[in-house]
Chain A
Amino acid sequence: MSIALEARNLVKVYPGVRAVDGVSFAVREGTCFGLLGPNGAGKTTTVEIIEGVTPATSGEVFYFGRPAGREFREEAGIQFQNTALQDFLTVRETLEMFQKLYDRQANLGSIIEACSLADLTDRDNRKLSGGQRQRLMLAVALVNRPRLVFLDEPTTGLDPQARRNFWALVQRIQANGTTIVLTTHYMDEAHILCNEIAIMDEGRLIAEGNPDALLQARYRGLVIELPIEDVPADLDGIDHRRIDRLGIVEIPSSDVTRSLGELTALTADLNRVKIRQPNLEDLFLDLTGHTLRA
């Protein structure tokens, strides 16, 4: 598989802030690459530099081995986090307008069907729900038969059902061989959709690789989760972390039976215990010392 996209040492400095600090990564053709991090980590700035809508202070972007330029604009599809559309235009007119901006043009009918917009083609843009609007924005990103699609926080603000429907859509796009760059702060979304991830914090990449491989390399076992009020204040001798904002204590364990026994000995109340697999959020917490959860 060839490298579809490569970012080399991207830096973006705003007055008093180094928003992106030497970010480099490569995205293989046909994969879904996730750029993860909390709000303010520099994900959107990094992606906008790559997309060419924000100038970098320094660094380079390559598209299939060549500096990103006209060919990149023609072949990339982009869904921004927040984009307004023209008022008074229908869904179909919006798609037609964006389609005509490209020499490469997809079949609109198939895009409308793929994005479940068939019943909405004559509806005014302003009258779409959040989920419908996100599907339209994804359709706009597909009007040029893109080889590479950028999705910036595509499911923020959607309800759980709409999020799952959107994931299914993204998986269908990827199945067609399209390369996807996804930025999100939802770890479950990244885990489900991405073949490769890079975690950003404070403008820098702090981990990169396959999500499962990253977790397996770091964790052996499960995570025991308890409400703070159900465990004694003193958990000395047990490896744990308190997340006050969420009101829980998390205990990584390679032997759950032994760990539960230790907690029982300390008079912890186990009636509300949860036991789960470690996830990307645990990884982020371990790497940065702070949580991703909103």
Chain B
Amino acid sequence: MFGRIYAIFRARNLEFLRDRGTLAWNIVLPIALMFGLAVIFGDEGRNEYTVGIVHDQGALATTAHPFLDTRYIHFVPITDIETGVRKVSRHQLDLLVDLDGRQRYWINADSPKGFFAEIALLRAVELAGDTIEKAPISGEAVRYVDWVLPGILGMNIMFSSLFGVGYVVVRYRKNGFLKRLRATPLTALEFIIAQVASRLILIMAITTVVFLGTKYLLDTPMEGSYATLFLIAIVGTIAMISMGLIVAARVTSEELAGGLVNIITWPMMLMSGVWFSLEGAGEFVRSAASVFPLTHVLDSARAVMLDGATLYEVAPNLIALTLMSAIFLGIGAALFRWRAA
């Protein structure tokens, strides 16, 4: 069994590595994107003020306090004060304000936007006839390029997994190579394992190169454990390769496979938080995004890279990704056909 899996695994690796155009594209694209974004956004990716409001549940009512009616400020409900404080320290929030309980707010003394948001807050509090307690904190800003790096790596993993597996298996089926393999002792499970393993190794190698390259060139932060981040990348990649196998299970046309992969990738691109945070998005959008493996990859990778989250803290994301992998692989294996019906 392992000899057969290794034979297909090795042949697929050679095929990929000798296809210089595809290989170069997989490495150059994310690095080029990173540089492009670093140049365009520099240290500032946000032009709007963002203030976190400690709020247990439901939408924020602008009538609850005059401050919430301030123009040009984007208010984001924050349920966990500790998370909100961390975001303020990272300059991801300009202020964090608790208007419900102890009237207080947290501000990063090094944040220029926090300084102006504070003026607006104090004016609104004064108008309301209230007082509010100040809690200064400190911390270096998270640049947009730091925040978007996991997004770009995740996006590259997604495309490489879905197109790499989906397209290749469909091409094999269309040109009769799968039919030829069918006439050997190779089983469908062995073939699928070989494809997953081959793609996983190649994607992990490329992602590692891109990660180290951007870290060296752009000095991106890494607050948590490399091992945890590596585990997230492995489990996330398996989940997305497995999605690709569902697309590839029966389709015989590369055009159709391309369309199906696009249907899957575009919602993930838009809703999983590749380019911008989903904080402040509607509950429905956030719930819908949670069904995508990319969402869990990005949430957990950012938590590890930017906030130093531990394995325990990202365990829910890893469990979700593992379950998705099992479900997608099961569906892909059940639907798999060696040749067109």
Contact = CB atoms under 8 A, between A and B. Distances in A.
Interface of A: 51-53, 70, 73-74, 76, 78, 80, 82-89, 93-94, 96-103, 140
Contacts of A83: 176-177, 179-180
Contact of A84 (B8, B176, B183): B176
Contacts of A102: 184-185
B185 A88 contact: no
Interface string B52-89: 00000000000000000000000000000000000000
B189 interface: no
Contacts of B338: 53
Interface stretch (B9-17, B110-118, B124-132, B254-262): B9-17
A93 B176 contact: no
A230 B258 CA distance: 60
A92 to B, nearest CB: 12
A97 B179 contact: no
Q: How large is the interface on B (under 10, 10 to 19, 20 to 34, 35 or more residues)?
A: 20 to 34
Contacts of B7: 96-101
B184 to A, nearest CB: 4
Given A98-B7, A140-B180, 13 more contacts: A53-B179, A70-B185, A78-B180, A78-B183, A80-B183, A83-B179, A84-B172, A84-B180, A85-B177, A88-B15, A88-B19, A97-B7, A99-B7
Contacts of B179: 53, 80, 83
B315 interface: no
Contacts of A78: 180, 183
Contacts, number: 70
Interface string B6-37: 11101110110011000000000000000000
Interface string B171-191: 010011101111111100000
B199 to A, nearest CB: 15
Most chain B Cβ neighbours within 10 Å, of A73, A74, A86, A103: A86
Contact of A80 (B4, B11, B180, B185): B180
B176 A80 contact: yes
A103 B19 contact: no
Nearest to B184: A101
A76 B3 CA distance: 19
A140 B14 CA distance: 19
Contacts of A86: 11-12, 15, 177
B151 to A, nearest CB: 32
B250 interface: no
B193 to A, nearest CB: 14
Contacts of B185: 70, 73-74, 101-103
A87 B15 CA distance: 6
B14 A89 contact: yes
A102 to B, nearest CB: 6
14 contacts: A52-B182, A53-B179, A53-B338, A80-B180, A83-B176, A86-B177, A87-B15, A88-B14, A88-B15, A88-B19, A93-B14, A94-B11, A97-B10, A101-B4
B8 A97 contact: yes
A84 B175 contact: yes
A274 B15 CA distance: 54
Contacts of A84: 172, 175-177, 180
Given A82-B176, A101-B7, A89 B15 contact: yes
B40 to A, nearest CB: 37
B296 interface: no
Interface string B314-341: 0000000000000000000000001100
A120 B236 CA distance: 42
Nearest to A140: B180
A83 B177 CA distance: 6
A74 B185 CA distance: 6
A89 B11 CA distance: 7
